[in-house]
Structure 1
């Protein structure tokens, strides 16, 4: 038996099948990353789907800024590319903003003040696990308590997603967008 993480292929056990039905599919296709999660029923059950619901206190745009910046900070082209392909248009991102999630600092002029603070907070969390004092007041001003917790959870979850996708060397999806040139 190999200990190499690869996308788990159906048929799944009845218990695992029930868990995997909670993950979003596109025309019956389940992403390779989600099938990597299926190598552990426990991990698949506790994984990502609970944060990708319509009940999030964050707007789609804010949620995607967190996800794109976190995955970019972790050099996770797989997940970054999936989210750009699937959500960037609905989130209202321009081509310049998409590129800036990967290649620009948080103060890039393509973002408004609130978004610049969010990007700077994500950078702090990604690089040090905390929010530096110079950004904390702005963060608390713009986001309510439940939104702050959602941002922390998304950032942490997408660190984990990045670790899994990168560590398992998950091949890019055919429809995914590639990182922009520097």
Structure 2
């Protein structure tokens, strides 16, 4: 009989342990999400630290975090939201109003410049309609080149997968993570 996905506990099989070494850790602590991935060696290898968050991304850290946090908000993934707010919001120069807006508001909030407001709208469209409405976003191809456009699509898709796993596994927040803002 199958059981609900849950984080593996050490000691890990040698092959899992080797793959987990490629994942980021915090003073040797491996996030619960990554340990859920480890239930399947194939999935762990496939879902490994994607290059979507590396320094080679055509998007800025700020753009990536806007996309990720908006996905987490729209997909009700508090686990990943909490990890990213703590780990990246300051580095991405997102202020408290912007963080709150990503969860509680929209790109129409006063805290967003035009291009970032459009990015939030794009994420919402991809999540809810699986496409971009070019009538509502006529500047999409002017603000982002083809490489950046595909990166936006890939990030939204990747964080759907993260939300599916984290939410279905009923992961508790990491002890250091932040919670969704209160309305």
Please, what TM-score do these two structures have when normalized by structure 2?
0.95
Cα distance in 1 for partners of 2:131, 2:6 equals 33
Which range moves more in the overlay, 117-126 or 41-50? 41-50
Any runs of at least 4 consecutive aligned residues in structure 1 with deviations exceeding 4 A, and if so which? none
CA distance in 1, matches of 2:34, 2:163: 12
How many pairs does the alignment contain?
182
Greater Cα offset, 64-73 or 131-140: 131-140
Q: How many Å separate the matches in 1 of 2:48 and 2:79?
A: 15
Kindly tell me: are residues 48 and 155 of structure 1, through their superposed partners in 2, closer, same or farther at Cα, counting changes over 3 Å?
Answer: farther
Residue in structure 2 matched with residue 105 of structure 1 by the alignment = 106
Aligned to 1:52: 53
Cα offset for 1:161?
0.3
The CA deviation string for residues 20-69 of structure 1, in whole angstroms up to 9 with x for no partner, is 11110011011011101101111111115122212111110000000000
- Within-5 A mapping of 1:80-91: 80-91=81-92
What CA distance in whole angstroms lies between the structure 1 residues aligned with 2:122 and 2:142? 13
Counterpart residue number, 2:141: 140
Partner of 2:154: 153
Q: Is the contact between residue 48 and residue 157 of structure 1 (CA under 8 Å) also seen in structure 2?
A: no
- RMSD over aligned CA atoms reads 1.2
Structure 1 segments unaligned to the other structure (5+ residues)? none
C-alpha distance in 1 between matches for 2:58 and 2:160: 20
Instruction: Please give the alpha-carbon distance, in whole angstroms, between the structure 1 residues aligned to 2:103 and 2:78.
Output: 10
* Structure 2: stretches of 5+ with no match in the other structure: none
- In the other structure, the counterpart of 2:71 is 70
Query: Tell me, what secondary structure is at the counterpart of 2:135?
Result: helix
Equivalent position SS for 1:30: coil
How far 1:14 sits from its partner (Å)? 2.2
Report the Cα distance in structure 2 between the residues aligned to 1:74 and 1:120, rounded to whole angstroms: 15
Structure 2 residue 19 is the aligned partner of structure 1 residue 26? no
Q: Distance in 1 between matches of 2:47 and 2:136?
A: 29
What residue in structure 1 maps to residue 117 of structure 2?
A: 116
169-178 or 15-24, larger mean C-alpha shift: 15-24
1:157/1:48 CA distance change after superposition, 3 Å: farther
